[in-house]
Copies of this chain bind each other. A is one copy, B any other.
Amino acid sequence: MRGEIVTIGNELICGLVTDTNSPYIAERLMSLGVEPLFITSVGDDEWAIEDALLRAIGRAEIVIVTGGLGPTPDDITSRAAAKSMGKRLMLSPEALEHIKKRYKRRGINPDSHAERQALIPQGARIIINPVGTAPGFYMSHKGKHLFFIPGVPKEMKVIMDQGVLPIIADEIPQDVFSARKVLKIFGLSESQVYEKVKDVRYDTERVKLGFLPVFPENHLSITVRTNSSVADAQKILDNVEESMRDALGDAVFGEDEDTLEKVVARLLKSKEKTIAVAESLTGGLLAERLTNIPGSSNYFERGIVTYSDESKVSLLGVDKKLISDFGAVSAEVAEAMAIGIKRISGTDIGVSTTGIAGPGGGSDKKPVGTVFIALAYDDGGKVSVKSHRYGFFGDRDRIRQISSEMGLEWIRRYFIDEGEKENVN
Protein backbone atom coordinates (compact mmCIF):
# COMPACT_ATOMS: atom_id res chain seq x y z
CA MET A 1 0.00 0.00 0.00
CA ARG A 2 1.46 3.34 -1.08
CA GLY A 3 0.99 6.60 0.79
CA GLU A 4 1.59 10.26 0.06
CA ILE A 5 1.76 13.26 2.31
CA VAL A 6 0.80 16.76 1.23
CA THR A 7 1.52 19.65 3.60
CA ILE A 8 -0.02 23.03 2.87
CA GLY A 9 1.06 26.50 3.94
CA ASN A 10 2.99 29.48 2.57
CA GLU A 11 5.22 29.33 5.64
CA LEU A 12 6.45 25.90 4.51
CA ILE A 13 7.48 26.76 0.97
CA CYS A 14 9.04 30.11 1.74
CA GLY A 15 11.40 28.74 4.36
CA LEU A 16 9.79 30.22 7.46
CA VAL A 17 8.98 26.88 8.98
CA THR A 18 10.41 23.39 8.86
CA ASP A 19 7.86 20.72 8.03
CA THR A 20 7.93 18.51 11.10
CA ASN A 21 4.49 17.05 10.39
CA SER A 22 5.62 14.89 7.49
CA PRO A 23 8.18 12.79 9.38
CA TYR A 24 5.60 12.11 12.09
CA ILE A 25 2.93 11.10 9.59
CA ALA A 26 5.40 9.03 7.56
CA GLU A 27 6.44 7.13 10.64
CA ARG A 28 2.83 6.45 11.61
CA LEU A 29 1.96 5.28 8.09
CA MET A 30 4.99 2.98 8.07
CA SER A 31 3.76 1.45 11.33
CA LEU A 32 0.66 0.26 9.47
CA GLY A 33 2.65 -1.04 6.52
CA VAL A 34 1.77 1.93 4.31
CA GLU A 35 4.88 3.03 2.43
CA PRO A 36 5.20 6.78 1.84
CA LEU A 37 6.37 7.52 -1.72
CA PHE A 38 6.27 11.30 -2.00
CA ILE A 39 6.01 14.19 0.41
CA THR A 40 4.90 17.42 -1.20
CA SER A 41 4.68 20.86 0.37
CA VAL A 42 2.70 23.60 -1.36
CA GLY A 43 1.67 27.13 -0.51
CA ASP A 44 -1.84 28.43 0.18
CA ASP A 45 -2.57 28.53 -3.52
CA GLU A 46 -5.65 26.86 -4.93
CA TRP A 47 -4.07 25.78 -8.21
CA ALA A 48 -0.99 24.36 -6.47
CA ILE A 49 -3.06 22.49 -3.88
CA GLU A 50 -5.27 20.96 -6.59
CA ASP A 51 -2.23 19.97 -8.59
CA ALA A 52 -0.59 18.35 -5.58
CA LEU A 53 -3.78 16.48 -4.59
CA LEU A 54 -4.43 15.14 -8.07
CA ARG A 55 -0.86 13.93 -8.47
CA ALA A 56 -0.97 12.28 -5.05
CA ILE A 57 -4.22 10.45 -5.83
CA GLY A 58 -2.71 9.36 -9.11
CA ARG A 59 0.27 7.72 -7.43
CA ALA A 60 -0.89 6.46 -4.02
CA GLU A 61 -3.78 4.72 -2.30
CA ILE A 62 -3.63 6.74 0.90
CA VAL A 63 -3.11 10.50 0.98
CA ILE A 64 -2.68 12.51 4.17
CA VAL A 65 -3.06 16.27 3.82
CA THR A 66 -2.25 18.77 6.58
CA GLY A 67 -2.76 22.49 6.88
CA GLY A 68 -5.02 25.17 5.48
CA LEU A 69 -8.09 24.19 7.52
CA GLY A 70 -8.08 27.21 9.85
CA PRO A 71 -10.48 30.16 10.02
CA THR A 72 -8.50 32.76 8.07
CA PRO A 73 -9.07 33.60 4.38
CA ASP A 74 -5.80 31.95 3.34
CA ASP A 75 -7.09 28.59 4.59
CA ILE A 76 -8.41 27.15 1.34
CA THR A 77 -7.66 23.45 1.59
CA SER A 78 -11.33 22.37 1.82
CA ARG A 79 -12.29 24.39 -1.25
CA ALA A 80 -9.33 23.13 -3.27
CA ALA A 81 -10.04 19.55 -2.19
CA ALA A 82 -13.69 19.84 -3.21
CA LYS A 83 -12.82 21.38 -6.55
CA SER A 84 -10.14 18.89 -7.47
CA MET A 85 -12.53 16.00 -6.81
CA GLY A 86 -15.51 17.64 -8.49
CA LYS A 87 -17.53 18.00 -5.29
CA ARG A 88 -19.39 20.88 -3.71
CA LEU A 89 -18.59 22.35 -0.30
CA MET A 90 -21.28 21.59 2.27
CA LEU A 91 -21.80 22.86 5.79
CA SER A 92 -21.30 20.00 8.24
CA PRO A 93 -23.72 20.44 11.19
CA GLU A 94 -21.55 18.06 13.24
CA ALA A 95 -18.44 20.16 12.61
CA LEU A 96 -20.31 23.40 13.28
CA GLU A 97 -21.54 22.14 16.61
CA HIS A 98 -18.01 21.10 17.62
CA ILE A 99 -16.58 24.48 16.59
CA LYS A 100 -19.26 26.37 18.52
CA LYS A 101 -18.55 24.27 21.60
CA ARG A 102 -14.82 24.97 21.39
CA TYR A 103 -15.38 28.70 21.02
CA LYS A 104 -17.88 28.76 23.86
CA ARG A 105 -15.47 27.05 26.20
CA ARG A 106 -12.98 29.82 25.53
CA GLY A 107 -15.67 32.47 26.00
CA ILE A 108 -15.64 33.62 22.37
CA ASN A 109 -18.61 34.00 20.00
CA PRO A 110 -18.02 32.10 16.78
CA ASP A 111 -18.09 34.52 13.84
CA SER A 112 -18.50 33.73 10.15
CA HIS A 113 -14.76 33.07 9.89
CA ALA A 114 -15.03 30.37 12.48
CA GLU A 115 -18.00 28.84 10.70
CA ARG A 116 -16.04 28.57 7.46
CA GLN A 117 -14.19 25.74 9.18
CA ALA A 118 -17.38 23.69 9.11
CA LEU A 119 -17.44 23.67 5.28
CA ILE A 120 -16.23 20.34 3.94
CA PRO A 121 -16.52 18.58 0.58
CA GLN A 122 -19.78 16.74 -0.07
CA GLY A 123 -19.57 13.12 1.05
CA ALA A 124 -16.63 13.71 3.37
CA ARG A 125 -16.78 12.39 6.91
CA ILE A 126 -15.81 14.61 9.85
CA ILE A 127 -12.89 13.58 12.07
CA ILE A 128 -13.37 15.36 15.38
CA ASN A 129 -10.42 17.41 16.67
CA PRO A 130 -10.28 16.83 20.44
CA VAL A 131 -7.60 19.47 21.03
CA GLY A 132 -8.50 22.28 18.64
CA THR A 133 -11.23 23.98 16.65
CA ALA A 134 -10.67 23.00 13.04
CA PRO A 135 -11.98 19.48 12.41
CA GLY A 136 -10.36 17.05 10.03
CA PHE A 137 -12.22 15.05 7.40
CA TYR A 138 -11.95 11.81 5.47
CA MET A 139 -13.14 11.10 1.96
CA SER A 140 -12.70 8.26 -0.48
CA HIS A 141 -12.46 9.08 -4.15
CA LYS A 142 -12.02 6.62 -7.02
CA GLY A 143 -10.87 3.95 -4.59
CA LYS A 144 -8.30 6.23 -2.99
CA HIS A 145 -8.45 7.36 0.63
CA LEU A 146 -7.84 10.98 1.55
CA PHE A 147 -7.45 12.41 5.04
CA PHE A 148 -7.37 16.14 5.74
CA ILE A 149 -6.09 17.26 9.12
CA PRO A 150 -5.06 20.60 10.68
CA GLY A 151 -1.42 21.60 10.38
CA VAL A 152 -0.86 22.60 14.02
CA PRO A 153 1.54 19.82 15.10
CA LYS A 154 -0.16 19.16 18.44
CA GLU A 155 -3.57 18.80 16.78
CA MET A 156 -2.16 16.88 13.83
CA LYS A 157 -0.62 14.26 16.12
CA VAL A 158 -3.77 13.63 18.13
CA ILE A 159 -6.03 13.44 15.07
CA MET A 160 -3.54 11.25 13.23
CA ASP A 161 -3.33 8.78 16.11
CA GLN A 162 -6.93 8.82 17.30
CA GLY A 163 -8.78 9.60 14.08
CA VAL A 164 -6.83 8.63 10.99
CA LEU A 165 -4.91 5.48 11.93
CA PRO A 166 -7.98 3.59 13.20
CA ILE A 167 -9.81 4.30 9.92
CA ILE A 168 -6.83 3.10 7.88
CA ALA A 169 -6.47 -0.02 10.01
CA ASP A 170 -10.23 -0.81 9.91
CA GLU A 171 -11.30 -0.01 6.42
CA ILE A 172 -8.34 -0.68 4.25
CA PRO A 173 -7.20 -4.26 3.60
CA GLN A 174 -3.55 -4.89 4.32
CA ASP A 175 -1.28 -6.93 2.11
CA VAL A 176 2.14 -5.98 3.49
CA PHE A 177 3.18 -6.31 7.10
CA SER A 178 6.12 -4.47 8.47
CA ALA A 179 8.14 -4.07 11.62
CA ARG A 180 10.84 -1.57 12.34
CA LYS A 181 13.38 -0.74 14.98
CA VAL A 182 15.90 2.04 15.23
CA LEU A 183 19.07 1.37 17.25
CA LYS A 184 20.69 4.50 18.68
CA ILE A 185 24.44 4.72 18.91
CA PHE A 186 26.81 7.23 20.42
CA GLY A 187 30.59 7.25 20.30
CA LEU A 188 31.08 5.58 16.91
CA SER A 189 31.30 7.41 13.58
CA GLU A 190 28.99 6.46 10.71
CA SER A 191 31.78 4.52 9.01
CA GLN A 192 32.71 2.77 12.27
CA VAL A 193 29.08 1.66 12.61
CA TYR A 194 29.14 0.40 9.03
CA GLU A 195 32.42 -1.47 9.58
CA LYS A 196 31.04 -3.24 12.63
CA VAL A 197 27.82 -4.44 11.02
CA LYS A 198 28.92 -5.04 7.44
CA ASP A 199 29.49 -8.77 7.89
CA VAL A 200 26.18 -9.43 9.62
CA ARG A 201 24.09 -11.76 7.45
CA TYR A 202 20.38 -11.13 6.95
CA ASP A 203 17.60 -11.64 4.42
CA THR A 204 18.26 -8.65 2.14
CA GLU A 205 14.97 -9.20 0.31
CA ARG A 206 12.80 -8.55 3.33
CA VAL A 207 15.14 -6.54 5.56
CA LYS A 208 16.42 -3.03 4.80
CA LEU A 209 19.06 -1.26 6.86
CA GLY A 210 19.35 2.51 7.07
CA PHE A 211 22.39 4.38 8.42
CA LEU A 212 21.61 7.79 9.70
CA PRO A 213 23.81 10.35 11.41
CA VAL A 214 21.70 12.41 13.83
CA PHE A 215 24.29 14.63 15.42
CA PRO A 216 25.88 13.73 17.75
CA GLU A 217 24.48 10.22 17.43
CA ASN A 218 24.26 7.59 14.72
CA HIS A 219 21.05 5.71 14.19
CA LEU A 220 20.68 2.36 12.50
CA SER A 221 17.18 1.51 11.31
CA ILE A 222 16.08 -2.04 10.57
CA THR A 223 12.92 -2.32 8.51
CA VAL A 224 11.27 -5.63 7.75
CA ARG A 225 8.50 -6.18 5.21
CA THR A 226 6.78 -9.44 4.58
CA ASN A 227 3.46 -10.46 3.07
CA SER A 228 2.78 -13.24 5.57
CA SER A 229 1.98 -11.64 8.94
CA VAL A 230 2.95 -9.03 11.52
CA ALA A 231 4.22 -11.81 13.77
CA ASP A 232 6.57 -13.02 11.03
CA ALA A 233 7.86 -9.49 10.43
CA GLN A 234 8.49 -9.10 14.15
CA LYS A 235 10.31 -12.44 14.37
CA ILE A 236 12.65 -11.57 11.50
CA LEU A 237 13.24 -8.15 13.08
CA ASP A 238 14.10 -9.66 16.46
CA ASN A 239 16.73 -11.89 14.88
CA VAL A 240 18.38 -9.10 12.90
CA GLU A 241 18.28 -6.79 15.91
CA GLU A 242 20.06 -9.38 18.04
CA SER A 243 22.83 -9.77 15.44
CA MET A 244 23.24 -6.00 15.16
CA ARG A 245 23.41 -5.56 18.91
CA ASP A 246 26.06 -8.31 19.10
CA ALA A 247 28.10 -6.52 16.45
CA LEU A 248 27.79 -3.06 17.98
CA GLY A 249 28.11 -3.90 21.68
CA ASP A 250 27.38 -1.26 24.28
CA ALA A 251 27.78 1.58 21.79
CA VAL A 252 24.03 1.01 21.37
CA PHE A 253 22.52 3.09 24.13
CA GLY A 254 18.87 2.74 23.24
CA GLU A 255 16.20 2.17 20.62
CA ASP A 256 13.23 3.87 18.93
CA GLU A 257 11.87 6.59 21.25
CA ASP A 258 14.82 6.39 23.63
CA THR A 259 16.99 9.42 24.14
CA LEU A 260 20.28 9.28 26.00
CA GLU A 261 18.69 11.29 28.82
CA LYS A 262 15.80 8.84 29.08
CA VAL A 263 18.22 5.92 29.28
CA VAL A 264 20.30 7.67 31.93
CA ALA A 265 17.13 8.57 33.87
CA ARG A 266 16.06 4.91 33.87
CA LEU A 267 19.49 3.85 35.14
CA LEU A 268 19.49 6.46 37.91
CA LYS A 269 15.98 5.47 38.98
CA SER A 270 16.48 1.72 38.89
CA LYS A 271 19.82 1.89 40.73
CA GLU A 272 18.40 4.50 43.13
CA LYS A 273 21.28 6.90 42.61
CA THR A 274 21.07 10.69 42.85
CA ILE A 275 22.97 13.16 40.75
CA ALA A 276 24.02 16.82 40.63
CA VAL A 277 25.87 18.61 37.84
CA ALA A 278 28.26 21.54 37.60
CA GLU A 279 28.46 23.05 34.13
CA SER A 280 30.57 25.60 32.47
CA LEU A 281 30.51 25.52 28.65
CA THR A 282 27.26 23.55 28.46
CA GLY A 283 25.56 26.42 30.29
CA GLY A 284 22.62 24.48 31.73
CA LEU A 285 22.11 22.12 28.82
CA LEU A 286 23.15 19.06 30.80
CA ALA A 287 20.80 19.96 33.67
CA GLU A 288 18.05 20.73 31.18
CA ARG A 289 18.41 17.31 29.53
CA LEU A 290 18.46 15.53 32.89
CA THR A 291 15.31 17.34 34.01
CA ASN A 292 13.22 17.27 30.83
CA ILE A 293 11.95 13.88 31.95
CA PRO A 294 8.88 13.44 34.16
CA GLY A 295 9.88 12.40 37.66
CA SER A 296 13.40 13.78 37.38
CA SER A 297 13.14 15.26 40.87
CA ASN A 298 13.60 11.68 42.13
CA TYR A 299 17.24 11.60 41.05
CA PHE A 300 18.25 15.15 40.09
CA GLU A 301 19.18 17.17 43.15
CA ARG A 302 20.65 20.36 41.73
CA GLY A 303 22.63 21.84 38.87
CA ILE A 304 24.98 24.76 38.93
CA VAL A 305 26.09 26.75 35.94
CA THR A 306 29.38 28.26 37.09
CA TYR A 307 30.24 30.55 34.23
CA SER A 308 32.52 32.86 36.18
CA ASP A 309 35.72 31.75 37.95
CA GLU A 310 34.37 33.38 41.10
CA SER A 311 31.29 31.14 41.09
CA LYS A 312 33.44 28.02 40.66
CA VAL A 313 35.32 29.01 43.80
CA SER A 314 32.46 30.23 45.97
CA LEU A 315 29.80 27.71 44.99
CA LEU A 316 31.81 24.56 44.32
CA GLY A 317 34.81 25.16 46.53
CA VAL A 318 37.25 24.90 43.62
CA ASP A 319 40.71 25.99 44.80
CA LYS A 320 41.59 29.39 43.30
CA LYS A 321 45.14 28.15 42.81
CA LEU A 322 43.93 25.34 40.51
CA ILE A 323 42.28 27.91 38.26
CA SER A 324 45.33 30.19 38.18
CA ASP A 325 47.78 27.28 37.70
CA PHE A 326 45.90 25.18 35.16
CA GLY A 327 43.16 27.47 33.82
CA ALA A 328 39.39 27.12 34.22
CA VAL A 329 39.44 24.72 31.27
CA SER A 330 41.57 21.90 32.65
CA ALA A 331 41.31 18.37 34.00
CA GLU A 332 42.20 19.67 37.46
CA VAL A 333 39.34 22.18 37.56
CA ALA A 334 36.86 19.74 35.95
CA GLU A 335 37.66 17.17 38.64
CA ALA A 336 37.42 19.74 41.43
CA MET A 337 34.04 20.86 40.04
CA ALA A 338 32.72 17.28 39.97
CA ILE A 339 33.94 16.59 43.52
CA GLY A 340 32.57 19.96 44.68
CA ILE A 341 29.08 19.54 43.29
CA LYS A 342 28.86 16.00 44.66
CA ARG A 343 29.97 17.18 48.10
CA ILE A 344 27.70 20.22 48.45
CA SER A 345 24.63 18.43 47.14
CA GLY A 346 25.22 15.15 48.95
CA THR A 347 24.45 13.06 45.86
CA ASP A 348 25.87 9.71 44.77
CA ILE A 349 27.28 11.13 41.55
CA GLY A 350 28.64 14.53 40.52
CA VAL A 351 29.32 15.40 36.88
CA SER A 352 31.06 18.47 35.51
CA THR A 353 31.79 20.06 32.14
CA THR A 354 34.28 22.79 31.35
CA GLY A 355 35.56 23.81 27.95
CA ILE A 356 35.71 26.32 25.14
CA ALA A 357 32.52 26.45 23.06
CA GLY A 358 33.76 29.32 20.90
CA PRO A 359 33.78 31.15 18.65
CA GLY A 360 36.23 33.13 20.85
CA GLY A 361 38.37 32.01 23.75
CA GLY A 362 40.56 29.42 22.02
CA SER A 363 44.35 29.23 22.11
CA ASP A 364 47.05 27.06 20.50
CA LYS A 365 47.20 24.77 23.50
CA LYS A 366 43.46 24.79 24.10
CA PRO A 367 41.67 25.45 20.82
CA VAL A 368 37.91 25.95 20.53
CA GLY A 369 36.33 22.54 21.14
CA THR A 370 38.65 21.59 24.01
CA VAL A 371 36.34 20.09 26.61
CA PHE A 372 36.90 18.31 29.91
CA ILE A 373 34.28 16.05 31.44
CA ALA A 374 34.66 14.73 34.98
CA LEU A 375 32.61 12.38 37.12
CA ALA A 376 32.92 11.95 40.88
CA TYR A 377 31.42 8.91 42.61
CA ASP A 378 31.48 6.89 45.80
CA ASP A 379 34.15 4.24 45.59
CA GLY A 380 34.15 1.98 48.63
CA GLY A 381 34.05 4.59 51.38
CA LYS A 382 35.99 7.28 49.53
CA VAL A 383 35.13 9.60 46.65
CA SER A 384 36.88 8.87 43.34
CA VAL A 385 36.95 11.11 40.30
CA LYS A 386 37.72 10.52 36.62
CA SER A 387 38.13 13.04 33.84
CA HIS A 388 38.97 13.13 30.16
CA ARG A 389 40.00 15.74 27.63
CA TYR A 390 38.11 15.89 24.31
CA GLY A 391 38.75 17.85 21.13
CA PHE A 392 35.37 18.42 19.51
CA PHE A 393 34.75 20.08 16.15
CA GLY A 394 32.00 22.36 14.95
CA ASP A 395 30.30 25.59 15.88
CA ARG A 396 29.24 26.71 19.35
CA ASP A 397 25.93 24.85 19.17
CA ARG A 398 27.47 21.55 18.12
CA ILE A 399 30.25 21.73 20.71
CA ARG A 400 27.71 22.38 23.48
CA GLN A 401 25.46 19.64 22.12
CA ILE A 402 28.12 16.95 21.92
CA SER A 403 29.56 18.00 25.31
CA SER A 404 26.19 17.58 27.02
CA GLU A 405 25.77 14.24 25.23
CA MET A 406 29.19 13.16 26.46
CA GLY A 407 28.24 14.21 30.01
CA LEU A 408 25.19 11.92 29.80
CA GLU A 409 27.30 9.16 28.24
CA TRP A 410 29.67 9.34 31.21
CA ILE A 411 26.75 8.66 33.53
CA ARG A 412 25.71 5.69 31.39
CA ARG A 413 29.32 4.41 31.32
CA TYR A 414 29.48 4.74 35.10
CA PHE A 415 26.58 2.29 35.40
CA ILE A 416 28.10 -0.07 32.81
CA ASP A 417 31.36 -0.11 34.83
CA GLU A 418 29.48 -0.64 38.09
CA GLY A 419 27.58 -3.51 36.49
CA GLU A 420 30.83 -5.14 35.38
CA LYS A 421 32.28 -4.78 38.87
CA GLU A 422 29.19 -6.54 40.26
CA ASN A 423 29.56 -9.33 37.74
CA VAL A 424 33.19 -9.84 38.69
CA ASN A 425 32.50 -9.88 42.44
Given A284-B285, A284-B291, A286-B284, do A16 and B210 touch, yes or no (CB 8 Å)? yes
A210 to B296: give the CA distance in the assembly, Å: 39
Inter-chain contact B302/A287, CB cutoff 8 Å = no
Inter-chain contact B52/A38, CB cutoff 8 Å = yes
Given A291-B284, A292-B396, do A13 and B37 touch, yes or no (CB 8 Å)? yes
Give chain B residues whose Cβ lies under 8 Å from the Cβ of A305.
284, 287, 291, 300, 302-305
Secondary structure call for the A interface: mixed
Quick check: is A188 within 8 A (CB to CB) of the other chain?
Answer: no
Quick check: is A130 within 8 A (CB to CB) of the other chain?
Answer: no
Inter-chain contact A283/B291, CB cutoff 8 Å = yes
Inter-chain contact A292/B400, CB cutoff 8 Å = yes
Quick check: is A294 within 8 A (CB to CB) of the other chain?
Answer: yes
Give chain B residues whose Cβ lies under 8 Å from the Cβ of A295.
360
Name which of A41-49, A136-144, A410-418 contacts chain B: A41-49
Quick check: is A33 within 8 A (CB to CB) of the other chain?
Answer: no
Inter-chain contact B43/A311, CB cutoff 8 Å = no
Inter-chain contact B213/A152, CB cutoff 8 Å = yes
Give chain B residues whose Cβ lies under 8 Å from the Cβ of A30.
14-15
Give chain B residues whose Cβ lies under 8 Å from the Cβ of A294.
358-360, 396
Of B19, B26, B296, the contact of A283 (CB 8 Å cutoff): B296
Of B13, B37, B282, B397, the contact of A48 (CB 8 Å cutoff): B37
A212 to B153: give the CA distance in the assembly, Å: 13
Quick check: is A196 within 8 A (CB to CB) of the other chain?
Answer: no
Give the nearest-CB partner of A209 in chain B. Answer: B74
A314 to B358: give the CA distance in the assembly, Å: 33
A301 to B307: give the CA distance in the assembly, Å: 6
Inter-chain contact B36/A39, CB cutoff 8 Å = no
Inter-chain contact B288/A303, CB cutoff 8 Å = no
Q: How many copies of this kind of chain does the complex include?
A: 2
Those of A5-41 within 8 Å (CB) of chain B: 10-20, 22-30, 35-41
Inter-chain contact B13/A26, CB cutoff 8 Å = yes
A154 to B20: give the CA distance in the assembly, Å: 20
Inter-chain contact A18/B18, CB cutoff 8 Å = yes
Inter-chain contact B23/A22, CB cutoff 8 Å = no
Give the nearest-CB partner of A3 in chain B. Answer: B13
Inter-chain contact B37/A39, CB cutoff 8 Å = no
Give chain B residues whose Cβ lies under 8 Å from the Cβ of A37.
13, 42-43, 45, 48
Give chain B residues whose Cβ lies under 8 Å from the Cβ of A227.
none
Inter-chain contact B38/A39, CB cutoff 8 Å = no
Give chain B residues whose Cβ lies under 8 Å from the Cβ of A72.
194, 211
Give the most central of A14, A223, A394: most B CB within 10 Å: A14
Q: Which residues of A contact B (CB under 8 A)?
A: 10-20, 22-30, 35-43, 45, 48, 51-52, 55, 59, 72, 74, 152, 154, 180, 182, 194, 208, 210-214, 219, 221, 223, 279, 282-288, 290-292, 294-297, 300-308, 310-311, 314-315, 344-345, 358-360, 394, 396-397, 400
Given A16-B23, A16-B212, 15 extra CB contacts under 8 A:
A11-B212, A14-B30, A15-B26, A16-B219, A18-B23, A22-B41, A37-B48, A283-B292, A287-B305, A288-B288, A294-B359, A297-B307, A297-B308, A301-B308, A308-B345
